Structure 1
């Protein structure tokens, strides 16, 4: 987390607002950059009740990622910039079925690896902000999966989506619980 205000002389030779991405190897940085998107995919990968709900879940997750731009964490803001700068050149895995449980297990292992990496290399405040931000992406998807029409005051229909057990397991893997 920045310990100086923008415009102040840097304490450690960096300009205010810069994250030392050089502190991470290319693979480590890729882990941090891709983890929020993987969480979004895991959170939205169940069968939505309608195509409209699928869109709402996806948009909520993207909003959660974009919300990182306003975090008081240089690391989170740098990861958001890197997410939007990353080219989408990954090949589609058409016809390849991967079990949801296997994907979830791999995601949780990646979360634990990110926690360990951040514990070793990041400012504790940046580490906490990053982990909370990643979980907030899934929480936003969950909120979209279980809508309540606040304007009309009526509850929306139940939508099968991620459960609180997913959020709990994610929170544990991110060392938030």
Structure 2
């Protein structure tokens, strides 16, 4: 089953928008509903996992969550149609419903979801969109972890944060 096609905006004459860019990319049509749910749910799962306190560690606080939300929103400016479509779908979830992927999961489940997402992207996505999506998802985690460590955007993180980011990057096929 394919995800429902997202309508495109057209002028009264039925011509494409003057900006030359579709209002909603057709990338969603390439994915089944389950695949699309995986792609749109993963950034939130990564944010939650990255913001969760380490075992025995202190709470990461509001700054971590805000940094993650900012990182997700940054995907709106991506060059990738896929990343922009995923962000649009995330923001379109305004009914308060929680997708199954939005539940709290342990790191093993999260890494398995990352590997499953990589398999979907290999089968369905343009290589550039796949790379952009995977890098964007990892950037969500990196910004959360750097915010809690008090590190600047390019700064160091704790060894525990580095292990988390390395494992995530490996599962996303980035390392």
CA drift at 1:22:
1.3
What pairs with 1:97-116 in structure 2 (closer than 5 Å)?
Answer: 103-116=106-119
Per-residue deviation, 1:161: 10
TM-score, normalised with respect to structure 1: 0.74
Match of 1:105, SS state, is: helix
The residue aligned with 1:26 is 33
Q: Distance in 1 between matches of 2:109 and 2:158?
A: 22
TM-score by length of 2: 0.75
CA RMSD, Structure 1 to Structure 2 (Å): 2.7
Runs of 5+ in structure 2 lacking a partner? 1-18
- d(CA) in 2 for partners of 1:148, 1:30: 32
Secondary structure of the corresponding residue to residue 38 of structure 1 = helix
Counterparts of 2:160 and 2:62, CA distance in 1? 15
| Paired position in structure 2 for 1:69 | 76
Partners in 2 of 1:49 and 1:71 — Cα distance? 33
CA distance in 2, matches of 1:78, 1:57: 24
Superposed CA offset, 1:101-152 (max 9, x none): x611011000001001001100000000000000000000011011158xxx
Which of 88, 95, 101 is residue 96 of structure 2 equivalent to?
A: 88
- CA–CA distance in structure 1, aligned partners of residues 164 and 30 of structure 2: 31
Higher RCO (CA < 8 A, seq sep 6+): 1
* Residues 1:7 and 2:15 aligned together: no
Whether 1:40 aligns to 2:43 is no
Q: Is the 8 A contact 2:27 2:81 kept in 1?
A: no
Matching residue within 130, 136, 139 for 1:133: 136
The ranges of structure 1 where at least 4 consecutive aligned residues each deviate by more than 6 angstroms after the TM superposition are none
